[in-house]
């Protein structure tokens, strides 16, 4: 009499040999190194700030001074109106949030982690914001002559 053979089970694989430590490290590095380089590129080029601004700044944000200042910092650095990084820009809002067209003074901070020797802040230019019309005008490069700043 012959012994009955059991049919092979479908969907089951042969047990794999465990990965060696070298294989484990190489597989981790193949994922982590490109991810790190991509994040480094995104942060250094300012794409992360621009994407964050696009997702968070809405039509109602024009009436919120805090959101408006963050939006202006992103636009000013993206348009290259000043060589200072965005963390070194200080905005002074003249008027409260009920004013429909406030004038905002843009100051450049020096020292304490920003370019410059001694701690100070100098006026760079002015920004005029039309909240209802959702437009920004600046006098950067031409004092007291405002021109439209397109985001």
Please say whether the beta carbons of 119 and 104 come within 8 A. Answer: no
Please say whether the beta carbons of 113 and 87 come within 8 A. Answer: yes
CA dihedral 127→92→99→134, nearest 10 degrees, is 40
pLDDT, one tens digit per residue, over 14-63 is 777 888 999 999 999 999 999 999 999 998 888 888 888 888 888 888 88
Q: Is the pTM of this model over 0.85?
A: no
pLDDT, one tens digit per residue, over 68-114 is 999 999 999 988 899 998 889 999 988 766 678 888 999 999 888 88
Tell which wins on pLDDT, 10 or 91. 91
In a domain, 68, yes or no: yes
In a domain, 144, yes or no: yes
Indicate the number of domains in the chain.
1
| Residue with tokens 């049919």, as numbered in its chain | 7
In a domain, 143, yes or no: yes
In a domain, 51, yes or no: no
32: helix, strand or coil = helix
Which pLDDT does position 51 carry in this prediction? Answer: 87
In a domain, 137, yes or no: yes
In a domain, 30, yes or no: no
**How many residues are listed for the chain in this entry?**
151
The range of the structural domain enclosing residue 95 comes to: 57-149
Q: Is the pLDDT of residue 2 over 70?
A: no
In a domain, 120, yes or no: yes
In a domain, 105, yes or no: yes
């Amino acid at each position: 009499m012959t012994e009955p053979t059991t049919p092979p089970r479908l969907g089951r694989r042969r047990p794999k040999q465990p990965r060696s430590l070298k294989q484990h490290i190489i597989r981790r590095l193949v994922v982590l190194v490109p991810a790190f380089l991509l994040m480094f590129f995104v942060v250094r080029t300012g794409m992360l700030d621009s994407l964050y601004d696009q997702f968070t700044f809405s039509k109602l944000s024009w009436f919120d001074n805090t959101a408006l200042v963050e939006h202006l910092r992103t636009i000013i650095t993206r348009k290259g109106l000043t060589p200072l990084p965005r963390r070194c820009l200080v905005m002074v809002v003249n008027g409260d949030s009920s004013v429909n067209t406030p004038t905002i003074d843009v100051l450049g901070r020096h020292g304490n982690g920003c370019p410059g020797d001694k701690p100070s802040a100098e006026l760079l230019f002015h920004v005029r914001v039309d909240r209802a019309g959702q437009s920004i005008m600046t006098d950067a490069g031409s004092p007291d002559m405002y021109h439209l700043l397109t985001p």
